[in-house]
Every structure is written in C-alpha cells, then in structure tokens.
C-alpha cells in the first residue's frame, strides 16, 4: 500500500501529516517507509532528529523522477509506504499521485487555497485519473483556526469540489511544531494533547478508508 500526502500548494502541513502518520503506523507495529520526495527534504531532517527510543521509521529521499521506477522495487519490502510529496512542483505532485493507492490532500480552509486545490484537481488528479481510471483519496483540512467564519467558508468551497473529505480536522497547534522539531510525532511528544487526539482520529479514519 502506498499513501501519498500531496498538494502542489506549499504550506499546507504535508510533512507534518506524513511524519505523524508514519510514526503512528510504526508505533502500531507496521513496517513502514517514509519517502521524502520534497526538494526541501523536511522528512529527512525530521528523521535525523528522531530519538533512538522512538519506534523506527525508515526514511529515504527519492526525487519525483525516480518514483515510478524505484517504488515498484522498494514497496515490496514494507507493509506501508507514505510519500511526503512536497509542494509547488506540478511534476512532483503528479508523480506522487500516479504511484499512490490512496492520496491525502492537505488543504487550508481559505478562498485562495480552495482555488489552488481546485487547480490541483484539474491539472494533476484528473490527468492521472484519466490514465489510472481512478484516484482514491480524500481532502484533509489542516492548520485550522477555531471558530472563524473564514475557515467555515473555506471548508465549504473546498467541499464543493466534490472529492471526499476527511471528517477529522487538524488545527493550528504549537504541539505539531514542537514535535516535528524533535523528530517525534505528537503522540510521542505529548500523548495526552488535543493534537495527539486529532492524529489518532486521522489514523483511525484513514484505516477505515484503505
């Protein structure tokens, strides 16, 4: 199984989602590989900071041009592969979508993000679906600010795209930033935090989809 966390817009929390999910699956005895296809190599930096006492997560950097060729060989060695697809590079996003069995599309709830996500669907997902026949996945609202009309309107615009949307919502919490700076998941950093509960909700919902 290959899951890609991808959206061609930067700043939507792709690496936060990818690293937290990878650590959560690893903590539940899944032999996992996290592929960093982002030129910024944020997931690789996270792995370098990861404490030895935490469940092991294998992380490799793999340029998008090699994803098709390399993943066919690599994925046979693992129960699950998660791809941190990076942002802003359409070819990168298209490759991450093309090799995935399921995609997670992190999106901010704003009008500009709704427009960017709509463009991503037209330029990338629909093109790949025309070749593959179907692209399974769902949009994940990230970095939300509680109780704002701005967020609610943005959510409606993105839901109107007609693609499945996770019920789980990921809010803008300092716990995520603290955890990633230490090479940890939010579970490992603050297991009783609201952020940890959000990530548990996402993990549970994702398992019901794949």
Give every residue of the chain whose pLDDT is below 70, as ranges: 86-89, 147-154
User: Do the beta carbons of residue 5 and residue 82 sit within 8 Å?
Assistant: yes
Whole-number pLDDT of residue 134? 85
Give the residue carrying structure tokens 């994925």. 75
The pTM is what?
Answer: 0.91
Give the pLDDT score at 67: 80
Report the pLDDT value the prediction gives residue 87, as an integer from 0 to 100. 63
Spatial contact of 17 and 143, defined as CB atoms under 8 Å apart: no
Q: φ, ψ for residue 121 (rounded to 5)?
A: -65, -40
Full strand arrangement of the beta sheet holding 32-36: 58-61, 32-36, 80-84, 2-5, 102-107, 137-144, 165-171
| Closest C-alpha to 56, from 29, 89, 16 | 29
Domains recognised in the chain with CATH numbers: 2-207 (3.40.50.300)
């Amino acid at each position: 199984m290959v899951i890609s966390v991808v959206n061609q817009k930067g700043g939507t929390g792709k690496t936060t989602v990818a690293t937290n999910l990878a650590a959560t699956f690893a903590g539940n005895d899944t032999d996992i590989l996290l592929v960093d296809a982002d030129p910024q190599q944020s997931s690789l930096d996270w792995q370098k900071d990861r404490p030895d006492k935490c469940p092991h997560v294998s992380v490799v950097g793999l340029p998008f041009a090699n994803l098709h060729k390399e993943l066919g060989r690599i994925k046979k060695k693992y129960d699950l592969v998660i791809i941190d697809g990076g942002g802003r590079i359409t070819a990168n996003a298209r490759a991450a979508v093309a090799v995935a069995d399921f995609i997670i599309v992190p999106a901010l709830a704003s009008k500009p993000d709704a427009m960017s996500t709509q463009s991503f669907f037209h330029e990338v997902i629909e093109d790949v679906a025309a070749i593959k026949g179907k692209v399974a996945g769902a949009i994940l609202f990230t970095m939300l600010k509680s109780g704002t009309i701005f967020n609610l309107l943005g959510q409606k615009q993105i839901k109107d795209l007609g693609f499945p949307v996770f019920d789980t919502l990921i809010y803008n919490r300092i716990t995520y930033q603290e955890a990633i700076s230490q090479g940890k998941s939010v579970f490992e950093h603050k297991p009783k935090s609201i952020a940890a509960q959000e990530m548990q909700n996402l993990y549970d919902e994702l398992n019901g989809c794949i």
